[in-house]
Structure 1
Amino acid sequence: MIKPHGIVPPIITPMTEDGKFNEPVFRQMINHLIREGVHGIFPLGTTGEFYAFNNEEVKHILKVAVEEANGRVTVYAGANHITTRGVITQVKIAEEVGVDAVSVLTPMFVSQTQEEIYDFYKTIAESTSLPILIYNNKPKTNVTVTPETIAKLALIDNIIGVKDSTGDFTNTEEYIRLTRHIENFSVLLGRDTLIFAGLCYGAAGAIASCANVAPRIAADIYDKYMAGDFEGAREAQFILAPLRIACNMGTFPAVIKEGLVLEGYAVGKCLEPIAELKEQEKKKLETILKEMKLI
């Protein structure tokens, strides 16, 4: 069973001008991120605009990701849907193309009890032999997985971890505290400003959207921390922070895609209704990337 760790970018999905998946640029991005030292890739997460694609497109994107990664890093696939059966369909697609693990977001729109959340993940886990990463993004879904529910789900063999994108560090700390004795369970940060803090508490790493734009800086937080260079890791965190804060300028993930365009990657725009950044926002982002020595 794999053990999630390190910096894993939820890789963007490049688009052509007519809104189609841009396979050559996707392959280029995968190789760029791996060269820069990331520890895994995560296609079709929130940053990858998972909600924009039908099952046929999902299969194509995941197949390309597995093929291009070619065993060099772990491939985590987003498998997200409002219903349990919808997620299971996505998980079966992920199985078919040979990903290493799946990340499953809490259902959106429908408000569930914690009992329903537990049953949701338990049923999905029982439907597959793939390792499963729970994904809690309460700010986007208005649904949460409490620390107590995580502690119960962590006892299921193929549930291997949780990504916490709540931004609530007490919640992250409780995830870690309540699961710290469970050997095959990892807690990953989903808020890029809290990676160093999470590592200090015992987190295994982060699924970091800004690692699309600043993969080496993000990887330095983890690599330097693991090497015992805590001051170097903290400094890398400080360097990364302005980019994450800048993501508030536009509708997510517009800033991530614009940052890559500024770096010279033809990733295209987000799908409508997400709009491009305004000109003054693009200039502000350009200044931040120059200060980070990324352009």
Structure 2
Amino acid sequence: MHTASASWPLRGIIPPMITPLLDNDTLDVTNLEKLIEYIIGGGVHGLFILGTTGELSSLSYSLRRELIHHTANLVNGRVPLLVGITDTALSESIQLAQTAAEGGAAAVVAAAPYYFNLSQVELIAYYQHLADQLPLPLLLYNMPSHTKIALEPATVHILAQHPNIIGVKDSSGNGVNFQHTQHLLRHQPEFTVLVGPDELTAEVVLLGAHGGINGGANLFPKLYVDMYEAATRRDVAALLPLQEQVLTVCSRLYRIGDTAASYIQGVKGALSLLGLCHNKLAWPLQPFSSKELASIQQYLAEIKVSV
């Protein structure tokens, strides 16, 4: 096994990979390999496991460790591997980080510990204490829709002074706060700034962000890489039709259901139709029904993206 060398800031498209499952607590190793090869074959710049799209909060600790082990072996240093360690218990996050380090991951990613509504002062103390004990660099993960706690731009700026906190993934969808964060970090060009929502990636890269951790890149990695590269070149003529395709993917596949997990259900359902995983989600999440899968099948036929 090899470790991919990662330079900071980390740039590009880093898909938040779904977790292929056979049942609630059994990893689908066969499709895991197929999916990794498919995604890396699309030219992506890294891989992120155990994030929101990877159903981190629903997976047992033993399955999380198994996923880290198999993914690290299969990636084998070809791209930097990021591992999510979000948890409500500090010790569990540290143990996951140790597993990630043993596997050769480049960095770990942690959202705010959910359940208690922490203040910004408490968040700063938590992340500093966590970063002090980690064997790998840490990226902050701003995901207020699920954690119910937002990382304010000033908080990110303070935490960016910590030597082991090297970046942020912002999935808030708050473009004003994201630009404020970028402005505060303008004198720290090595600090990685990545965005979560697919729809915003092209815009923020044009404005100086380093890339996207976009769920749709599970399905169409080359499309997202092409979009990112056009944005870095500031080639608006090439970028506009690619952005239009990304918006079509989002509008077709992320909004079929009416639950907070509809985008996970949509991505996993679409991947199952492409033969890259089973349509299995970990409890308490439920997969889309055959009726919803039929809609996804129709949308896949309409989306003009080669796979």
Q: TM-score range by the shorter chain?
A: over 0.9
For the 8 Å contact 2:245–2:304, the answer to whether it is kept is: no
Whole-Å separation in 1 of the counterparts to 2:207 and 2:219: 26
Q: Which amino acid aligns with 1:37?
A: G
Does residue 198 of the first structure (1) align with residue 209 of the second (2)? no
Do residues 249 (structure 1) and 256 (structure 2) align? yes
How many residues align structurally?
295
Deviating beyond 6 angstroms after TM superposition, the runs of 4 or more aligned structure 1 residues are: none
State whether residues 77 and 99 of structure 1, in contact with CA within 8 Å, keep that contact through their aligned partners in structure 2.
Answer: yes
Q: Give CA deviations for 1:244-291 in whole Å, capped at 9, x if unaligned.
A: 233132342111100101222233311233222244432332232222
Task: Give the superposition deviation at 1:130.
Answer: 1.0
Amino acid of the residue matched to residue 248 of structure 1?
R
- The 5 A counterparts of 1:148-227 are 148-227=154-233
Partner-residue secondary structure (3-state), 2:187 = coil
Map 1:27-66 to 2 at 5 A: 27-66=33-72
**How far is 1:2 from its partner?**
3.8
- Identity of counterpart residues, as a percentage? 30
Displacement of 1:83? 2.8
Letter in 2 for 1:64: H
Task: Give distance in 2, aligned partners of 1:54 and 1:276.
Answer: 18
**In 1, Cα distance between the equivalents of 2:238 and 2:294?**
29
2:22 matched residue in structure 1: 16
TM (norm. structure 1) is 0.94
For 1:184 and 1:158, locate their aligned partners in 2 and report how far apart those are by CA, in whole Å.
12
**AA aligned opposite 1:27:** E
Paired residue for 2:274, among 241, 258, 263?
263
> 1 CA distance for matches of 2:124 and 2:25?
36
Contact residue 210 and residue 243 of structure 1 kept, 8 A: yes
The worse-fitting range, judged by mean Cα deviation, of 244-253 and 4-13 is 244-253
Find the aligned partners of 1:28 and 1:150 in 2 and give their Cα distance.
36
- Which runs of 5 or more residues in structure 1 are unaligned? none
- 2:299 paired with 1:292: no
C-alpha distance in structure 1 between counterparts of 2:217 and 2:171, whole Å = 15
Aligned counterpart for 1:97 among listed residues 90, 99, 103: 103
Counterpart residue number, 2:3: none
How far apart are the structure 1 equivalents of 2:303 and 2:226?
Answer: 13
2:292 is aligned with what amino acid? E
RMSD: 1.7
For 2:290 and 2:26, locate their aligned partners in 1 and report how far apart those are by CA, in whole Å: 25
Tell me how far apart the structure 1 counterparts of residues 22 and 124 of structure 2 sit (CA, whole Å): 39
Compared CA separation, residues 271 and 53, structure 1 to 2 (3 A): closer
- Do the aligned residues in 1 keep the contact of 2:16 with 2:214 (CA within 8 Å)? yes
Given that 1:9 and 1:207 are in contact with CA atoms closer than 8 Å, whether structure 2 keeps it comes out as yes
Q: Which amino acid aligns with 2:304?
A: K
Question: Does 190-199 or 93-102 show the bigger shift?
Answer: 93-102
CA separation in 2, counterparts of 1:128 and 1:98? 14
